Structure 1
Amino acid sequence: MVKIFTLSISLLIFAQLNTLQQDSTSKKSDSLNTRKLNSELDKVSQLSAERLSDSLKRSELERRVSNLGDKDRIEKNMLMQELSLLRKKDSVHLSRQLAQIDSLRGVIKASPVRFASDTLFNIYARLGSFSAADRARAVSERLERIGDLGGFSADSLRLSNAEQSTDLIYGGTLILSITDQDALWARKDRNAYAKEISEKIAESLKKYRMDNSWRVLLREILLTFLVIGVVIGLIYLINKLFGKLSGRFLSAESRLGKGIKIKNYELLDPSRQLGALKVLIRVIRYLVILLVVYLAFPVLFGIFPFTRDLSENLLNYILSPLKKIGTSVWDYVPNLMTILVLLAVFRYVIKFVRFLKTEIERGKLTIPGFYKDWANPTYQIARVLILAFMLIVIFPYLPGSDSGIFKGVSVFIGVLFTFGSAGALGNVVAGLVLTYMRAFKIGDRVKIGEVTGDIIEKTLLVTRVRTIQNEVVSIPNSAVMNNHTVNYSIEAKEKGLIVNTTVTIGYDVPWRTVHQLLIDAALATELIEAEPAPYVLQTSLDDYYVSYRLNAHTHSPNRQAVIYSALHANIQDEFNRAGVEIMSPHYKALRDGNATTIPQDYLPGDYIAPRFRTESEENKKETKN
């Protein structure tokens, strides 16, 4: 856990440093772009300065030519040639300047001049120390001041031509200075462009004055009350409509059927289904009312000129996301179609692999060296690999898959999954190895470590064993791999399982008698096979007894406990009937004067335990005499 936490912190720090590095790189890139852009703008300004200088020279030459008489024809011709060169040079500079402006047109951001919620024109060029944005802001403020004065007169708006610019003046207020660069950005002559701007401003000021007259305001107020009344009426109709709809559902409760069921699980009974429908109708009603009220605001704000910007913004709050979503969905359609085709292809590939698995399990398809019980795990492995390959193929077509955040989160989740599931993956691998080892199958009697029982479940993670005490023991597959496994069932059907037990008999009993008694006990036991015949091995010669191991075959390994119990009972019966004592308890007694250890049921009716006999030398002599 500590390793995972440390790794998570390291990844987060790395991601943060990477983000900071990207931000720094982005800022450096922006700075370089700004410097490059300023350099291009300086070139345009330099060309304008050169054109201005040439224009002044041309004016001076034209003045000198006009002052020369017919006598100074030679000098006049020289000046005319110089004028021609200046005009050609100006034409070249103009072409270069237009080319520079065209190259910057998609890069330079326009600064709009706005008045009364309308964009009149755009400014691109700077003037002295004032940027294009500063110029546009200053013009907008001047127009607002003129509009607030009232009593606008178009005759007071005039143009004043200067050497470097054309000034637009209203009364004594300078509104705007239009330069050659401004005209070049509009691809027009300076005087024509100045006249066009003057007409737009005059028209906008007239419209502003008309929109703010008392008659217009009265009409706008009446329209406002009309819109409010329509909204109230719509809300009333919506409430009435949804009320009737809810009443119909209430009266149709008996016709709702048996509710909603998913197989045998009842998700919603009829009463809950009716309640859910009522809640859904109520939510839809509130959403419709909210939508009507929201759409009414743009209509209300659109009535008044000074709030039309707010009206457009409110509409854009809805339309812009919808437009983006629609555009994104439309642009994503080709990728979506590709994903659908890939899903269909991989679906049929998995179906084909499943078909092969089914045929192998049924025995219709046989592959040398490939067992039937391998079919399902092999299918599961192939299915996982096919799905993983499908995800790899589909991943580039997912929306946002190329973003850095998406990739970083994917890597982070993958690392967490790898470290967090190390133990589980070990069990899965062990489960696969056990499957292909064929160490056991469902129903086999096995001994895993200290656990003995029947296999009842075998998964990729655990193996479950039911003991003879009916206990279910879950053993992780990794633990199964690390322990030795004894399978009692794997050879039981063909060769049979050998059950064995050991008894100890005293040296006073002939070993052939013991062998026969043990074999008879085995043959008398149910589930013990007569063929191959049971046999006995003498495993040790101890101090007081001989150890005999009885071996017998059975084809029922799952019933070992019953077989051993019956076998031990039969051994006791056989030995007791034959009058042979089993010495396993290690009896230490004087035989004379002690009763035999054979159970009372197997002794004769007149059996009496012998007494102790003692003899002396005198008694022996008397007996001899």
Structure 2
Amino acid sequence: MTVVVLWGVEDAVLRELSRAQVRARVLVRVAITMGFLAVVYVGTGVLDDALDRFTDGHDGITDHQTEVMFRILQITLYIGALIVILGFWNLDLSGLLIGAGFAGIVLGMAARQTLGSVIAGLVLMFSRPFEIGDWVQVGDKQGIVTDITIVNTRLQTFDGEYVMLPNDVVGSSEIVNRSRKGRLRVHVSVGVDYETDVEHAMDVAKDAVSDLDDVLSVPRPQVVLSSFGDSAIVMDVRVWIDKPSSRRHWRAQTAVIQSVKTAFDDAGIKIPFPQREIAGRAETGGFRVHEPGADGETDD
């Protein structure tokens, strides 16, 4: 030390030692940061395996839902790791958090409908009111579900058109899933004359649809009286089909109508046309047929 002082380089040596210590601390922090990132990366793989083992034991969770859950957990883990690293490097997070909050408010106001669709998409993926390939009705739209994304749901209508429905619209609408139970009931209304023996007509209609190829034998077809029509007693013929689709629905309905019409014709049961009865009041003499020449009138 005496030699160093004598040479006048004491300050220079101290500065070099201080710089070396700073560099060493930086290198240590870099090494710790890299090691922490490696642990986080390995942790995501462990998380993925654990999530797969969990979902394998639950048949109600699809692969698509598992992937969505993993991505959400992965992003959450990465965000937490980033906050830890920034704190480890003694960076001031207050300004960053304020800026991120302000940017989030601006983006939320600018893209509130998109964010609503994203949130609704997550809800749909977990609640599973329908899956790809299901025949559904959403509001006044119906068709086959061909795709479900985080933002929208796509249907193929029975006219061959593709309809894109935002998930927030789907989530706020009434959803009817005609494929969920694997079978569907088809209704066909038919009227018979008021003079007809309705019990006999019901038996004829039931026998006519019992042996159709497109109709299930269990549950059995039913025929019930529906209402008093203007010119007929209306019966409701109810049959079931399996693997519901638009084609099978219309094919079964057509077969039921043809079979019931043929059976009624063979049994002499009349399906009346719309008709009305006109009655005159007795105190006014009822109806009178006006004849030419009456009351001094002549034919032209």
Question: Do these two structures clear the TM 0.5 threshold for a shared fold by scoring above it?
Answer: yes
8 Å contact 2:230–2:276 — kept in the other structure?
Answer: no
CA distance in structure 2 between the partners assigned to 1:529 and 1:516 by the alignment: 18
CA distance in structure 2 between the partners assigned to 1:394 and 1:568 by the alignment: 72
State the Cα deviation string for residues 594-623 of structure 1 (Å, max 9, x = none): xxxxxxxxxxxxxxxxxxxxxxxxxxxxxx
Amino acid of the residue matched to residue 575 of structure 1? F
CA distance in structure 2 between the partners assigned to 1:497 and 1:329 by the alignment: 74
The residue number in structure 2 matching 1:484 is: 174
Amino acid of the residue matched to residue 549 of structure 1? D
Pick aligned residue for 2:190 from 503, 507, 515: 503
Q: How far apart are residue 535 of structure 1 and its match?
A: 0.6
Identity %: 23
The residue number in structure 2 matching 1:343 is: 37
Amino acid of the residue matched to residue 163 of structure 2? V
CA distance in structure 2 between the partners assigned to 1:392 and 1:562 by the alignment: 61
8 Å contact 2:152–2:166 — kept in the other structure?
Answer: yes
The residue number in structure 1 matching 2:149 is: 459
Pick aligned residue for 1:520 from 192, 207, 215: 207
Extract unaligned runs of 5+ from structure 2. 1-21, 278-300
CA distance 1:544–1:408, shift in 2 (3 Å): closer
The residue number in structure 1 matching 2:70 is: 379
Q: How far apart are residue 541 of structure 1 and its match?
A: 1.9
The residue number in structure 1 matching 2:274 is: 586
Q: How far apart are residue 413 of structure 1 and its match?
A: 3.0
The residue number in structure 1 matching 2:12 is: none
Amino acid of the residue matched to residue 449 of structure 1? G
8 Å contact 1:499–1:551 — kept in the other structure?
Answer: yes
The residue number in structure 1 matching 2:232 is: 545
State the Cα deviation string for residues 6-25 of structure 1 (Å, max 9, x = none): xxxxxxxxxxxxxxxxxxxx
8 Å contact 2:136–2:143 — kept in the other structure?
Answer: yes
CA distance in structure 2 between the partners assigned to 1:406 and 1:330 by the alignment: 28
8 Å contact 1:447–1:486 — kept in the other structure?
Answer: yes
State the Cα deviation string for residues 94-144 of structure 1 (Å, max 9, x = none): xxxxxxxxxxxxxxxxxxxxxxxxxxxxxxxxxxxxxxxxxxxxxxxxxxx
8 Å contact 1:360–1:372 — kept in the other structure?
Answer: no
1:471 aligns with 2:161: yes
Q: How far apart are residue 329 of structure 1 and its match?
A: 9.5
State the Cα deviation string for residues 306-363 of structure 1 (Å, max 9, x = none): xxxxxxxxxxxxxxxxxxxxxx9997544443332232222222212222343455x3
Secondary structure of residue in 2 paired with 1:372: coil
Amino acid of the residue matched to residue 572 of structure 1? K
State the Cα deviation string for residues 176-221 of structure 1 (Å, max 9, x = none): xxxxxxxxxxxxxxxxxxxxxxxxxxxxxxxxxxxxxxxxxxxxxx
CA distance in structure 1 between the partners assigned to 2:54 and 2:61 by the alignment: 6
1:437 aligns with 2:118: no
User: RMSD value over aligned CA atoms?
Assistant: 3.2
Amino acid of the residue matched to residue 340 of structure 1? M
Q: Which has the larger radius of gyration?
A: 1
State the Cα deviation string for residues 236-263 of structure 1 (Å, max 9, x = none): xxxxxxxxxxxxxxxxxxxxxxxxxxxx
Pick aligned residue for 1:555 from 222, 227, 242: 242
**Residues 221-370 of structure 1 mapped to structure 2, 5 A cutoff:** 333-360=27-54, 363=56, 366=57
TM-score normalised by L of structure 1 = 0.37
Amino acid of the residue matched to residue 550 of structure 1? V
Extract unaligned runs of 5+ from structure 1. 1-327, 590-625
The residue number in structure 2 matching 1:567 is: 256
Q: How far apart are residue 570 of structure 1 and its match?
A: 2.9
CA distance 1:567–1:415, shift in 2 (3 Å): same
Amino acid of the residue matched to residue 379 of structure 1? F
Structure having the larger proportion of residues in helix: 1
Amino acid of the residue matched to residue 460 of structure 1? I
8 Å contact 1:442–1:457 — kept in the other structure?
Answer: yes
Amino acid of the residue matched to residue 73 of structure 2? A
Secondary structure of residue in 1 paired with 2:216: coil
Q: How far apart are residue 500 of structure 1 and its match?
A: 1.3
Q: How far apart are residue 455 of structure 1 and its match?
A: 1.8
Secondary structure of residue in 2 paired with 1:557: coil
Secondary structure of residue in 1 paired with 2:120: helix
Pick aligned residue for 1:390 from 69, 81, 84: 81
Amino acid of the residue matched to residue 499 of structure 1? V
8 Å contact 1:336–1:397 — kept in the other structure?
Answer: no
Secondary structure of residue in 2 paired with 1:509: coil
Aligned residues: 253
Q: How far apart are residue 382 of structure 1 and its match?
A: 1.9
CA distance in structure 2 between the partners assigned to 1:486 and 1:475 by the alignment: 15
The residue number in structure 2 matching 1:423 is: 113
State the Cα deviation string for residues 458-513 of structure 1 (Å, max 9, x = none): 22221222222222222222112211111112222xxx322212111211222133
